[in-house]
Structure 1
Amino acid sequence: MQNILIAGASRGIGLALVRAFLERGERVHVVVRQPGNEALKNLAEQHPQRLNLIVSDLTGDQAAERIAAALDAPLDIALFNAGISARQTIEDVSHAQIVELFLTNAIAPLRIARALSTRMANDAVIAFMSSQMGSVELARSAEMPLYGASKAALNSLLRSWSRAADRPNACLLALHPGWVKTDMGGDNAPVEIVDSAAGLVVSLDAHRGKSGCYFVDYQQQTLPW
């Protein structure tokens, strides 16, 4: 039985990943900002010994300490899925919105992952929900430039960490979930949540025991940085 951490799992892809890992018998540590999520409550009742709910705002100063204190075994996979969208242009975005966007989508996930890196198993994966919009080479964020920039920042920080003196033994992974039918993706998106989650699980499993830093999608295709 693996120990899986999923940060940002109250709905959408994160919640689907929790279900997928629980259904195959893993123990899942779920980090959410607020308590009282009905879907997670139901899952906890169905899997009382294998779902550990951790309430913490990932952007808070004590987030890493709270999460670490709630863990009782090394992690095999840590996935940081929490993030926010942004449709503002650089002309109309406020300073506060810029701080919230980059803190939530790039800084906070890396900060917590670095703090938890010593809690990972030997063949572990530390993964982050990125986006094809974060690819500078693909340049697909013309309609959402600030969101794309925040994911590009996430990717850049991840690659820098992979070359740093304190780089972890775990494989580092940036994931593109596809254009998914979520609140963020909209009803016109071609990929169903369950299909994205199933593919992401395969991508995560495929990188267990590897070294290095990779950018792949839910169909196991490599994306350009």
Structure 2
Amino acid sequence: MHILIAGASRGIGLALADRYLAQGHHVLALARQPEQSEGLAALARRYPGTLRTLAADITDRDVAERLLAVQGDALLDRVIVNAGISQPKLDSLYDLSDADAARLFVTNAVAPLRLARSLAPRVVKGGAVAFLSSQMGSVELALSARIPLYGASKAALNSLMRNWWAEEDKALPFALLALHPGWVRTDMGGSGADLSVDESADGLVTTIEHHAQAGSDCVFVDYRNETLAW
């Protein structure tokens, strides 16, 4: 299979690349500065024939075109958009500048959907397009009181994804997934989080593959494949 992972230089994205490469698949890893990632360098040494990298930011308007140029004629079996940023640690959402708020929403919601929709014609029937969302994006659960704009950006991601599904009259030929990775010990999740990166990545791969095999659907689930309220 051919797997595209956007945001693969560290953390969950890097672990997902590791899992798919270990299974014998081809991975195209997007990162802002892949040459500075020790993790990607290690994977390149272990999998010299099946890992390719592209230096780009997910918010670049030409990122899909550049990815397809690297991918060549090969179709994509999985598109996993992991790239995102957290809300700055501020006392109040009123302290966040308009520019920072716009960057948060473009990076976490607009750019991921723009990329996925541009790549969609190259995704195989029975494939999967997955976005790393968060339970903080659940409007019903309302868990993002401390970082409300981050939660709102993930809610916007989920909303754009569901609207894409509805726009296509639920006829996309691949699974469309919003994934909550759990509370993971990463730079964003912090050292006190519940899960290791490996535990989250193992569950995410299993969940993605389950839905790809099950057929086209649009779901919001966590790394254990448990359904979350939108």
**Superposition deviation, residue 218 in structure 1:** 0.4
Aligned position for 1:49: 49
1:75-224 correspondence runs (5 A): 75-86=76-87, 87-88=89-90, 89-165=92-168, 168-209=172-213, 210-224=215-229
TM-score computed with the length of structure 1 as normaliser: 0.96
Which ranges of 4 or more aligned residues in structure 1 deviate by more than 4 Å? none
Give the aligned residue type for 1:140: L
**Superposition deviation, residue 153 in structure 1:** 0.1
Cα distance between partner residues in 2 of 1:27 and 1:122: 18
Cα distance between partner residues in 1 of 2:198 and 2:162: 29
Aligned position for 2:65: 65
Equivalent residue of 1:10, what SS?
A: coil
1:18-57 correspondence runs (5 A): 18-36=17-35, 37-57=37-57
Q: Is the 8 A contact 1:3 1:74 kept in 2?
A: yes
Q: Is the 8 A contact 1:56 1:67 kept in 2?
A: no
Equivalent residue of 1:30, what SS?
A: strand
Cα distance between partner residues in 1 of 2:168 and 2:22: 38
**Superposition deviation, residue 69 in structure 1:** 1.1
Cα distance between partner residues in 2 of 1:62 and 1:211: 28
TM-score computed with the length of structure 2 as normaliser: 0.94
Larger mean CA deviation between 71-80 and 101-110 belongs to: 71-80
Percent sequence identity is: 52
Cα distance between partner residues in 2 of 1:220 and 1:35: 30
**Superposition deviation, residue 26 in structure 1:** 1.1
Which of the pair is proportionally richer in helix? 2
Aligned length: 224
Larger mean CA deviation between 145-154 and 82-91 belongs to: 82-91
Cα distance between partner residues in 1 of 2:217 and 2:42: 37
- For residues 113-148 of structure 1, give each alpha carbon's deviation from its aligned partner in whole angstroms, at most 9, with x where no partner exists: 000000111111000000000000111001110100
**Superposition deviation, residue 70 in structure 1:** 1.1
Cα distance between partner residues in 2 of 1:216 and 1:150: 17
Cα distance between partner residues in 1 of 2:168 and 2:186: 38
- Unaligned stretches of 5+ in structure 1? none
